[in-house]
Amino acid sequence: MRHDDREGPIEIALVGDLTDNEGDLTDKLLDVPLGGECTLYFDSPGGSPYCAISLMSLIRLRGLRATGIVTGECSSAALWPFAACVRRIVTPYSVLLFHPMKWQSEEHVGLAEAAEWARHFGNLETDMDRLLAVLFGVSYEHVSQWISPGRYVSGRELADAGLAEMVELENLATFGQNGLYGGRKREKAKPRSA
């Protein structure tokens, strides 16, 4: 079905390694009209940090009103496009892995080039971690507690921190009808008392 023929926002699945699907995901984001709405479904372990920057940049530069829903995993590089969404939804079983950036090269490089890669990735890691905090609307310190040394954060924890809305699994059937496309505004997640 063509996007023009369907009702509601364009739906895009970000499943698997983002890098392996970057061309297709880019095309699908470009199909969303400037300033338009879309729903992004996340079940991804991440991918290249450059892919993360590219997808996040497309969402922001095109002014997309994206709703991100973590249906399974949203880890590593997948966090940046998720954080760029204007509305973020998780379930109690959603999993998000925050960790320090990893880099690798499959090419044989000399010592000087390896040192330059290390310098570049050190700067890129700090810049991207700060950007992630800005996108989520929290302090750098808040996000860095999850990033270093690396932490799995549940959907419930993310919602309790006020960074996403929680939808309980038993409410999923009615949520799609009333919450996501029904036009009703939902309250922002409130921290639970311990």
Q: Tokens 């880099």 sit at which residue?
A: 103
CATH code of the domain covering residue 140: 3.90.226.10
- A 10 A CB-CB count for 79 gives 27
In a domain, 41, yes or no: yes
Contacts with 111 (C-beta within 8 Å, 6 or more apart), sequence order: none
In a domain, 191, yes or no: no
Token couple for 130: 């700060």
Q: Is 15 helix (H, G, I), strand (E, B) or coil?
A: strand
Task: Supply the range of the domain harboring residue 80.
Answer: 3-180
pLDDT at 175: 64
In a domain, 146, yes or no: yes
pLDDT at 129: 86
38 in Cβ contact with 62 (< 8 Å): no
pLDDT at 178: 57
pLDDT at 11: 96
In a domain, 193, yes or no: no
In a domain, 108, yes or no: yes
In a domain, 69, yes or no: yes
User: Into how many domains does the chain fold?
Assistant: 1
pLDDT at 188: 40
Which residue pairs from 161-165 have beta carbons closer than 8 angstroms and sit at least 24 positions apart in sequence? 161/191, 162/138, 162/188, 162/189, 162/190, 162/191, 163/88, 163/136, 163/137, 163/138, 163/189, 164/70, 164/88, 164/89, 164/90, 164/189, 165/87, 165/88, 165/89, 165/90, 165/189
Judge residue 154's burial from the number of C-beta atoms within 10 Å of its C-beta, 0-12 exposed, 13-18 middle, 19 or more buried. Answer: middle
pLDDT at 189: 40
One pLDDT digit (tens) per residue for the chain, 194 residues: 444 555 788 999 999 999 999 999 999 999 999 999 999 999 999 998 889 999 999 999 999 999 999 999 999 999 999 999 999 999 999 999 998 766 555 566 676 776 666 665 666 677 788 889 999 999 989 888 998 888 899 999 999 999 999 998 776 666 655 556 554 343 344 333 43
In a domain, 192, yes or no: no
In a domain, 189, yes or no: no
